A and B are shown apart, each in its own frame.
Chain A
């Protein structure tokens, strides 16, 4: 069974960089599929953030491109998210998930999510 687990600071100050890591178990990232990040602000719906392939090729939501960086470490079977210059609007539960498409397709396995609050 594929399992994903997000980790990172739960509190980030405004204007700083939000950094999260997703560790994958039960499947090798190098074997295929794409790996993505999704977030859910409190009381709101889901928003796709971006996706990465094991080669390192990335696909970002245009609304976040200028602040976003997603990377992969196949040796540790994990991928990471960095979102810079955060504001309160970036407060959300952040999920990582496996998907069969770069910008389309389903997310078939998800992590349970981690709450990141942006506050001074």
Chain B
């Protein structure tokens, strides 16, 4: 039930800035429901990066930031580091399905 669409992959050189989009619709992001972002290295526990669209948990570096416009949200990673190579997922709530929904996932590759 991936109603949130993300690009399959993004890449960047160390130190660069990359952004990951999360496109929904008028029944989720467009309605104003919060968006959350997770980082996942396969075989490990996913990590909460951004909650409530723009907020960072205290243990997450300021290199990670979130934003939203219309039916889309974005995660930006500035000063890309090798350790940022992972899968990233967005999550929101869909008022039509009445459940929390996740994005399709984006693999970030550090060149």
Contact = CB atoms under 8 A, between A and B. Distances in A.
Interface SS of chain A: loop
The contact size tier of chain A is 20 to 34
B99 interface: yes
A93 B28 CA distance: 26
The contact size tier of chain B is 20 to 34
B24 interface: no
Interface in A20-47: 38, 44-47
Given A103-B93, A106-B52, A107-B38, A61 B43 contact: no
Given A45-B89, A47-B1, A112 B44 contact: yes
B46 A95 contact: yes
Interface of A: 4, 38, 44-48, 61-63, 95, 97, 101, 103-113
